[in-house]
Structure 1
């Protein structure tokens, strides 16, 4: 997962979330989330392919890549759900100034 000192990691994530949020008004949270997950999987497939010399090599590495990305997503999802549980009132009912 992200290195805690890599603020750019969080800045990139925030920028992508901001873009996804712009699609909620003409769609829904669920549809925006599904599109974001598809885009992430498509990008991860491209990253995986970039590390291979040919289709055969990519095919041989397919399960390892799937396992890696699924496990990383699971860890990040658990971390973020825990954060939302611990900060539910703050995140879901922010005070209006």
Structure 2
């Protein structure tokens, strides 16, 4: 990540995950994940638009925004997948092989 997160970063993330988990009961993990990704994309587009004076400026910075958010997501996903690989039994309540 660009900056080292503070505890509030993780608290916000946990709150969003808890909300997403509450939708699994009447949906599925995959559908909840897809909705979460869409919400993140929509919010990120809004954040990007807030930094621009007009549509032309937003259009000119679109690729830069896409590249930034994709790279940040890739890094976060890799970090979390590595964490799950290293802690699979504990996180998934699975029996070790």
Task: Count how many residue pairs are aligned between Structure 1 and Structure 2.
Answer: 93
**How many angstroms apart in 2 are the aligned matches of 1:61 and 1:25?**
39
Unaligned runs of 5+ in 1: none
- What is the TM-score when the length of structure 2 is the normalising length? 0.93
Unaligned runs of 5+ in 2: none
- What is the TM-score when the length of structure 1 is the normalising length? 0.93
1:92 matched to which residue of 2? Answer: 92
**How many angstroms apart in 1 are the aligned matches of 2:4 and 2:24?**
30
**How many angstroms apart in 2 are the aligned matches of 1:55 and 1:24?**
37
1:70 matched to which residue of 2? Answer: 70
**How many angstroms apart in 2 are the aligned matches of 1:48 and 1:65?**
7
Residues 3-26 of structure 1 deviation map (CA, whole Å, 9 limit, x = unaligned): 14x000000000000000000000
CA-based RMSD of the aligned residues comes to 1.0
1:11 matched to which residue of 2? Answer: 11
**How many angstroms apart in 2 are the aligned matches of 1:41 and 1:11?**
20
2:58 matched to which residue of 1? Answer: 58
Larger relative CO (CA 8 A, sep 6+): 1 or 2?
A: 2
**How many angstroms apart in 1 are the aligned matches of 2:87 and 2:28?**
23
4+ residue runs over 4 A deviation: none
SS at 2:47's partner residue? Answer: helix
